């Protein structure tokens, strides 16, 4: 067994989570995994393949990333950030919507873009990349609606409270990889590696995607494992009740670059679990430390 895995298991256990993980050296292919081929729920991590399909369609001339889109104040998808939290009509370019979707996981921006490119187009792209365990089946709005329905509450604002109940969490279809947007840790690192090697799309598109992933604001998960000025961390999080994910790339000053995908489910149902968030970063550092010592 991989020597890194026991240490990773300890990290997860002491944070009160179950973890699924895969990490790979982007340039030499060495890897560390734990339950790396089991299906996992992506939550907002699905915004990464959506972003890739957006750029692929722009490359084919199907859309113009600078095209301006009106996003009215009414009818927005719920969420605590970006346009989902803003109150007035807005007009943004497609690529600035993509920025909000990646930087602050804006659900409204994601649904506007998903409606524009089409979820089947995203799945066709994933097929073409050989990522057949990765599927986009739901928009953010559908995901949130399933939470409300499964929790048995009438209003979206009651979902948070209801999901503090373990019995409610147990019946959320949004947490079932057979239903929700899904992938495996290994397929996510393959996708990241293709983006970092300019293989997932044209070089300019891959660079634009990397830029947006580096602009993600959250410091508490993957980035928290690398509190070092000379290490660059790019990523995309995903969060649902008891579910905390992040996939991203960690780049060292000596040129070493590592794709890592970490998916967790916490035993507890509390929303605020900074140790569970930090476990994603610590687990990532643990496996990257192993990859860097040529195990």
Partner 1 sequence: MDLVRHLGYFLVVAEERHFGNAAARLGMAQPPLSQRIKRLEEELGVRLFERSSRRVALTEAGRLLVPEAREIVARAERIRDLMADMARGAAAVVRAGVPADLGAPVLAALIAGFRDRRPDVRLSLTEMGTAAQVAALLEGRLDVGLLRHPVAGHGLACGPVLVRYPGVLLAEDDELTAWAAVHLGDLAGRDLVMFPRDAEPGLYDDTLAACRRGGFVPAEVIHTDRAEFALGLVLSGTAVAFGVPAEVPGVVWRPLAGKPLAWRCSPAWRGEPGPCVRDFTDVAVQVLKDDAGMVDEAMPPAPRVAPRPATGFLA
* Interacting residue ranges for partner 1, rule: CB under 8 A: 7, 103, 214-219, 223, 227-233, 251-254, 289-290, 292-293
Q: Hey, what are 147's tokens?
A: 């939470």
For residues 168 and 152, give the distance between their C-alpha atoms in angstroms, rounded to a whole number: 9
Closest by CA position to 223, among listed 237, 242, 210, 212: 237
83 and 76 Cβ atoms separated by less than 8 Å: yes
Q: What's the 3-state SS for 144-167?
A: HHHHHHHHCCCCHHHHHHHCCCHH
Nearer to partner 1 by C-beta: 73 or 215? Answer: 215
Question: Minimum distance from CB of 290 to partner 1 (Å)?
Answer: 7
> Taking the complex as a whole, how short is the minimal distance between the CB of residue 78 and partner 1, in angstroms?
23
CB of 108 to partner 1, least distance (A): 20
115 or 215, CB closer to partner 1? 215
Q: What are the backbone angles phi and psi of residue 10, rounded to the nearest 5°?
A: -65, -40
Q: Residue 167, Cβ neighbours under 10 Å: how many?
A: 8
Helix, strand or coil, per DSSP, at residue 255: coil
The residues pairing with 244 across neighbouring beta strands, listed in sequence order, are: 239, 264
Of 204, 214, 191, 235, nearest in space to 58 by CA: 204
The end-to-end CA distance of the chain, in Å, is 11
What's the min distance (Å) between Cβ of 104 and partner 1? 9
What is the smallest separation between the CB atom of 226 and partner 1, expressed in angstroms? 8
Closer to partner 1 at the Cβ: 155 or 229? Answer: 229
Q: Which is it for strands 68-71 and 257-266: parallel, antiparallel or unpaired?
A: unpaired
- Residue number with CB closer to partner 1 (170 or 295): 295
- Token pair recorded at residue 179: 């239903």
Residue 183 vs 224, nearer CB to partner 1: 224
Nearer to partner 1, 120 or 230 (CB): 230
Distance CA 207, CA 234 (A): 12
Give me the least distance between CB of 219 and partner 1, in Å please: 4
Nearer to partner 1, 117 or 291 (CB): 291
Nearest distance in Å: CB 211, partner 1? 11
């Amino acid at each position: 067994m991989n020597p890194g895995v026991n240490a990773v298991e300890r990290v997860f256990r002491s944070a009160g989570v179950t973890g699924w993980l895969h990490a790979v050296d982007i340039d030499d292919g060495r890897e560390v995994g734990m339950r790396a081929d089991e299906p996992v729920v992506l939550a907002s991590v699905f915004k990464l393949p959506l972003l890739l399909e957006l750029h692929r369609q722009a490359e084919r001339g199907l859309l113009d990333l600078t095209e301006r889109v009106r996003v009215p104040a009414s009818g927005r998808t719920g969420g605590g950030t970006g346009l989902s939290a803003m109150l007035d009509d807005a007009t943004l370019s497609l690529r600035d919507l993509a920025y909000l979707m990646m930087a602050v996981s804006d659900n409204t921006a994601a649904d506007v873009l998903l409606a524009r490119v089409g979820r089947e187009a995203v799945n066709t792209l994933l097929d073409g990349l050989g990522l057949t365990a990765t599927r986009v089946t739901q928009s953010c709005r559908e995901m949130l609606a399933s939470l409300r329905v499964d929790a048995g509450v009438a209003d979206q604002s009651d979902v948070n409270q209801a999901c503090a109940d373990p019995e409610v969490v147990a019946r959320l279809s949004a947490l079932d990889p057979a239903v929700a947007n899904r992938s495996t840790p290994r397929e996510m690192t393959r996708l990241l590696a293709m983006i970092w090697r300019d293989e997932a799309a044209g070089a300019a598109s891959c660079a634009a995607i990397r830029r947006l992933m580096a602009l993600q604001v959250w410091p508490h998960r993957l980035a928290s494992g690398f509190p070092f000025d000379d290490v660059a961390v790019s990523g995309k999080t995903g969060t649902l009740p008891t579910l905390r994910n992040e996939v991203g790339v960690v780049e060292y000053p000596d040129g070493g670059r590592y794709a890592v995908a970490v998916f967790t489910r916490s035993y507890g149902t509390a929303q605020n679990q900074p140790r569970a968030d930090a476990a994603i970063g610590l687990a990532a550092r643990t496996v990257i430390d192993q990859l860097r010592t040529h195990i």
